[in-house]
Structure 1
Amino acid sequence: MTKKYPIALWTLVIGAFAIGMTEFVIMGLLPEVAQDVHSTIPQAGQLITGYALGVAVGGPILVVITYKMAQKNLLMLLMLIFCIGNLLATVAENYSFLMASRLITSLAHGSFFGVGAIMAANLVEYSRRASAMALMFTGLTVANILGVPFGTFIGQQLGWRSTFFIIAIIGFITLIGIFLLVPKNKEQKKGNIKQELVVLKSGNLWLALLIAMFSFGSVFTLVTYITPVLTDVTGYQSSTVSWLLVVFGLGVTFGNIVGGKMADWNINKSLFISLSALVVYLFIFYLFQFSAILMVPGIFIFGVLAFAMIPMLQFRILGVSADAPTLASTLNQSALNLGNAGGAFIGGMSVEYLPLKDLVLVAPFITVIGLLLFYVQVQTTKVRNPL
């Protein structure tokens, strides 16, 4: 294996980019979508919730159904489903049809990142497995920095359907790339559904999933309402917020890469450092939010600390359930998405009943739960080396 990452890995990065774009771009197109499918904006917002639930529930089910498929073939099938779902969105005449297309598209999300993470790790030498997984996840973060603003602009200029058509094209390019460039895993064991399902009896797995859900939940508690925090607490103009979100996105991307390298070094120590640092920093961030100058580096650091844990959590789950890596990896995506939804809900409750400035103080207590659960698991269970 050369020192550089193989081109096959970059194909997975492009796929992650497309998936990230289709998940988040609709946030910037809600008014256009609502008007076109004759729904209210809150109803159109449920298209985001429906997608998240599809990821959480549909991904593991799809893994069980396709357990006999080779990883490469499964990735190709997932991208085909992804393309079909986005193409259906371009011809949706009503809200129900559009919701159905979103649910179809969401089926590819959890499984792609679950299976793709394993594939990415297998494409590089042993010492860089977590870094390779982190690189794949940068496609998701770059989608937020570049893909979502670009898709929103195209949708506003040419109609929201054109955005989903472009996403489908990117998905098709990924499908061709996987077919031509991703090698078959000759060492992959034949699918064994009983072996995959028996892991569901493991309390150790469910504890690890709870760790992932709570650890990352605090991030979306704050991120969901970061725009009103920047405008109403810090005092930025609305026109400036988009640039600050780019700064946040750069921090997210950097954090993802750093998190992968730290996981390659020592997964448990790295995760403990990452979670502890995020908890402490959020209390510091409470002070930063009152300064327009400090919020620029502050939001970048928040992005770094918040998303450094993603490759760590994804890498660690493979050591918790090494006998069923595909299902465990996909379930981890479900846990992260449930954390997103739960964190956003708690954030909404905080904003409704507490001053907006106190939202930053509510968020870290969710990660504290994840940190405590992590400490319990480390002290009571020996986790095998991932992969």
Structure 2
Amino acid sequence: MGLLPQIAQDLLPGVWASSSDDAIAQAGVMIAAYALGVVVGAPTIAVFAARVPRRIILLALTVAFTLGTVASALAPTFGLVVLFRFVAALPHGAYFGIAALVAASLMGPGKRGQGVALVLSGLTVANVVGVPLITALGQSAGWRIAYLVVAAIFAASVVAIRLTVPTQPGDPDATPRRELGAFARPAVWFALLTGSVGFAGFFAVYSYVAPLTTEVTGLPESAVPWALVTLGVGMTLGNLLGGWAADRGVLRALFLCFGVFAVVLLGLALTAAQPLGLFGFLFGVGGAAAALSPAIQTRLMDVAGDSQTLAAAVNHSALNIGNALGAFLGGAVIAAGWGYLAPTWLGLVLCAPGILLALAGAWVTSRR
């Protein structure tokens, strides 16, 4: 996301020459393609992987990450890069879903939310360290080099998983029919929709942090990695707090996080022209959004019955529907000429249906 301007300039030179705004908005399709790959891959892989020993499937999925990222770095055209981003994303949801099950099992009863948050903290710490460093590397050495470095990190992760993750059996009683049974539960759908709509607001902002920082706040390009660091620190702290809160009341945690999210989005929209407002409220946006994730993941595990593998994986489908929707709608409002602050207002608007969907899910559960 932080490299969208560089990618747009390299892969869409004709569009860039006529309008850099249009080129950046079009390059946002790459984000949507990755997100849609997660949406497709998470339930498909999870349904058929539930019986496979968990360390084996984690290793296979990480190898797939590595190969897909290398292909993305080497693809010569914009269309092929978009295709390989989709392919590279297919293992994403199943990987994090199965890893969350492993962590929840190791943490023991009463600490599932914290186990889920521990796994998701990998994503949030990556936003503090990996994303800014890779963004800075891509700005200086080129986005393709940045992607190859990411692929090398994936390859190192294959080794780390093999050496450190304990052996855990799959579910010998799992069948595709049983796993898919989760979709017969209305509460599962409401939880998925809550995550999709809520995170669309976050990704509308996150996808366009680079132009928000340079065009609205007026800071140099070198400030973009620091904006991402700030957002990532907020995500790291918010994720841990969200896991703690989910273990003490999932629905209460959901509503509290949505309320805070709306407040910080409003603050960002009103003060982003000032560096203090940008950095302060980006921290809050990252924290509130990340706190939602373990709450939604735990909520899905609560309402999915025996379909735990699928429930853990499709949470990432829901979040990446939000990713795709947020990137697309954020690009649309920019392309419409409403400016780089428009995605922040869009995120605030999307909080309302997110809260309503969470309320509907709570109502369905109470009726049952």
**Shorter-chain TM-score range:** 0.7 to 0.9
Matching residue within 247, 261, 268 for 1:278? 261
TM-score by length of 1: 0.81
Letter in 2 for 1:274: C
Q: Which residue of 2 aligns with 1:30?
A: 7
Q: Does the C-alpha gap of structure 1 residues 135 and 27 become closer, same or farther in structure 2, counting only changes over 3 Å?
A: farther
Q: Which residue of 2 aligns with 1:62?
A: 45
- The alpha carbon displacement at 1:151 in A equals 2.7
Matching residue within 336, 347, 353 for 1:369? 353
Mapped partners of 1:93, 1:359: distance in 2: 30
- The alpha carbon displacement at 1:78 in A equals 0.6
Q: Which residue of 1 aligns with 2:151?
A: 168
- The alpha carbon displacement at 1:255 in A equals 1.0
8 Å Cα contact 1:55-1:334 kept in structure 2: yes
TM-score by length of 2: 0.85
- The alpha carbon displacement at 1:44 in A equals 5.4
Q: Which residue of 2 aligns with 1:252?
A: 235
- The alpha carbon displacement at 1:354 in A equals 4.3
Q: Does the C-alpha gap of structure 1 residues 271 and 184 become closer, same or farther in structure 2, counting only changes over 3 Å?
A: same
Indicate whether 1:139 and 2:86 are aligned: no
Mapped partners of 2:223, 2:2: distance in 1: 19
8 Å Cα contact 2:51-2:173 kept in structure 1: yes
Indicate whether 1:308 and 2:291 are aligned: yes
Indicate whether 1:177 and 2:160 are aligned: yes
Q: Which residue of 1 aligns with 2:365?
A: 381
Mapped partners of 1:152, 1:242: distance in 2: 6
Q: Which residue of 2 aligns with 1:347?
A: 330
Extract unaligned runs of 5+ from structure 1: 1-23
Q: Does the C-alpha gap of structure 1 residues 39 and 179 become closer, same or farther in structure 2, counting only changes over 3 Å?
A: farther
Q: Which residue of 1 aligns with 2:195?
A: 212
Q: Give CA deviations for 1:257-285 in whole Å, capped at 9, x if unaligned.
A: 11111112221111111112222333344
Equivalenced residues, count: 360
- The alpha carbon displacement at 1:331 in A equals 1.5
Mapped partners of 2:238, 2:281: distance in 1: 14
Q: Does the C-alpha gap of structure 1 residues 160 and 232 become closer, same or farther in structure 2, counting only changes over 3 Å?
A: closer
Q: Does the C-alpha gap of structure 1 residues 383 and 138 become closer, same or farther in structure 2, counting only changes over 3 Å?
A: farther
Q: Which residue of 2 aligns with 1:82?
A: 65
- The alpha carbon displacement at 1:340 in A equals 1.8
8 Å Cα contact 1:56-1:331 kept in structure 2: yes
Mapped partners of 2:208, 2:2: distance in 1: 17
8 Å Cα contact 1:319-1:383 kept in structure 2: no
Which range is displaced more, 136-145 or 211-220? 136-145
Letter in 2 for 1:69: V
8 Å Cα contact 2:47-2:175 kept in structure 1: no
Q: Aligned with 1:183: secondary structure?
A: coil
Letter in 1 for 2:249: N
Relative contact order higher in (CA < 8 Å, ≥ 6 apart): 2
Which range is displaced more, 250-259 or 127-136? 127-136
- The alpha carbon displacement at 1:232 in A equals 4.4
Which range is displaced more, 173-182 or 53-62? 173-182
Mapped partners of 2:367, 2:119: distance in 1: 24
- The alpha carbon displacement at 1:349 in A equals 4.0
Mapped partners of 2:181, 2:307: distance in 1: 8
Letter in 1 for 2:7: L
Extract unaligned runs of 5+ from structure 2: 17-22
Letter in 1 for 2:253: S
The alignment's C-alpha RMSD in Å is: 3.1
Q: Does the C-alpha gap of structure 1 residues 239 and 193 become closer, same or farther in structure 2, counting only changes over 3 Å?
A: closer
Which range is displaced more, 247-256 or 345-354? 345-354
Q: Give CA deviations for 1:274-298 in whole Å, capped at 9, x if unaligned.
A: 1122223333444333544343322
Q: Does the C-alpha gap of structure 1 residues 86 and 232 become closer, same or farther in structure 2, counting only changes over 3 Å?
A: closer
- The alpha carbon displacement at 1:369 in A equals 0.7
8 Å Cα contact 1:47-1:102 kept in structure 2: yes
Which range is displaced more, 139-148 or 44-53? 44-53
Which range is displaced more, 188-197 or 212-221? 188-197
Mapped partners of 1:45, 1:344: distance in 2: 6
Letter in 2 for 1:129: R
Q: Does the C-alpha gap of structure 1 residues 173 and 226 become closer, same or farther in structure 2, counting only changes over 3 Å?
A: closer
Equivalent positions of 1:105-254 (< 5 A) are 105-155=88-138, 160-186=143-169, 188-254=171-237
Which range is displaced more, 161-170 or 132-141? 161-170
Mapped partners of 2:130, 2:137: distance in 1: 10
Which range is displaced more, 64-73 or 256-265? 64-73
Mapped partners of 1:280, 1:167: distance in 2: 34
Matching residue within 226, 251, 257 for 1:268? 251
Mapped partners of 1:322, 1:112: distance in 2: 20
